[in-house]
Amino acid sequence: MEKKIKAGIIGGAGYTGGETLRLLLNHHVVEISFVHSRSNAGKPVHAVHTDLLGETEMVFTDALAFDVDVLFLCMGHGESKKFLQENIVLSTVKIIDLGNDFRLGDKVAGRTFIYGLPELNRAVILRANNVANPGCFATAIQLGLLPLASKGLLKEVYTTGITGSTGAGQKLQNTTHFTWRANNISAYKTLTHQHVTEINQSLKQLQSTYQGNLHFVPWRGDFTRGIFVSSIVETQKSLEELNQLFKVFYQDHPFTHVADTMIDLKQVVNTNKCLIYLEKEGNKLVVHSAIDNLLKGASGQAIQNMNLMFGLDERAGLQLKSTVF
């Protein structure tokens, strides 16, 4: 009998905490040591994540016990750093942070974080003790651009992306009110979305000449899960060469695939996959990409990183049945 990896979840009542929990419950090599939530301590987890009724009798705890192999930090942005400053976590405990505190190289308590996009950094993630999990839009946009950056092809990038309501978290707000959001579309953080910085950081890692000219317009969509992105870039390369470039780039990455026909969002909902599709007119290339914002864009990628950090099959616990419809 294989020894199980002991995992703890901090911030287990939120969306990414809940998805991490759902994935770990079915991960054969993992044993969940605790699910932490200050505000829900003592309640069964299925009182909050009501779909888990009949799946688990675990109870939220507010006690912090760090006798685990890996900690998933699923807290609001800014809270992970504070948490690691205020609590002593043994350096033998690996940390995967789903917030945005460490994506740009910040350190805390002697810990250096690797940017956890396996398609970019798998070799170093394999040896990492601390991983900063990428943002959701950042994941979808980067996966559409990394192969181009790897060949020095990026200049100006024009990107529009649309995200589901779960991207906005559990908090009740006007833009997550059903009456407002149903059948509605709107834009937000036009050209100023916080993920642009981490995207540019990754693109520069592959293409030193890239100037960071990514013009990104995010839209709010009237669905709950998923991100669909279309980026326009200029290139003289033929569509055939470009498809070849992308397919080779992702050939040994199990979750990112280049399609030969138009993709749609629901192909990836409730999976850890990213699908990409390329189209070209004149010298304009359009790259479409789609992910589930809570899985490949958050908790699924966190588990993918855990698998790599612990030498497991990258796909362990992530062969998920898509919702499809």
Residues with a known catalytic role: 136
221 binds a copy of itself (CB under 8 A): yes
Residues in the interface with a copy of itself (CB under 8 A) total: 83
**β-bridge pairing 214-220 and 274-281:** unpaired
- Kindly write down the DSSP assignment for every residue of 182-218, as one continuous string: TT--EE-STTT-THHHHHHHHHHHH-TT----EEEEE
124 binds a copy of itself (CB under 8 A): no
262 binds a copy of itself (CB under 8 A): yes
Interface residue with a copy of itself among 166, 202, 243, 301 (CB under 8 A) is 166
> Nearer to a copy of itself by C-beta: 33 or 256?
256
Interface residue with a copy of itself among 5, 7, 9, 23 (CB under 8 A) is 23
- For the chain, the C-alpha Rg in angstroms (whole number) is 19
β-sheet bridge partners, residue 6: 31
> Nearer to a copy of itself by C-beta: 124 or 239?
239
Q: Are 160 and 227 in contact (CB under 8 A)?
A: no
In the chain, what is the greatest distance between 2 CA atoms, to the nearest angstrom?
Answer: 61
> Nearer to a copy of itself by C-beta: 197 or 267?
267
Q: Select the span of 98-106, 110-118, 133-141, 274-282 touching a copy of itself (CB under 8 A).
A: 274-282
304 binds a copy of itself (CB under 8 A): no
Shortest Å distance, C-beta 265 to a copy of itself: 4
Shortest Å distance, C-beta 272 to a copy of itself: 10
- Alpha-carbon separation of residue 51 from 25, 26, 36, 46, 55 (angstroms): 13, 14, 18, 7, 8
Q: List strands edge to edge, sheet with 130-132.
A: 30-36, 5-10, 70-73, 94-97, 130-132, 114-115
Interface residue with a copy of itself among 1, 63, 90, 324 (CB under 8 A) is 324
Q: Are 220 and 188 in contact (CB under 8 A)?
A: yes
291 binds a copy of itself (CB under 8 A): no
Sign (positive/negative) of CA torsion 157, 162, 164, 166? positive
Residues 45-64 that bind a copy of itself (CB under 8 A): 49-55
d(CA 115, CA 112): 10
Residues 134-163 that bind a copy of itself (CB under 8 A): 158, 160, 162
> Nearer to a copy of itself by C-beta: 21 or 149?
21
Shortest Å distance, C-beta 85 to a copy of itself: 31
Shortest Å distance, C-beta 313 to a copy of itself: 14
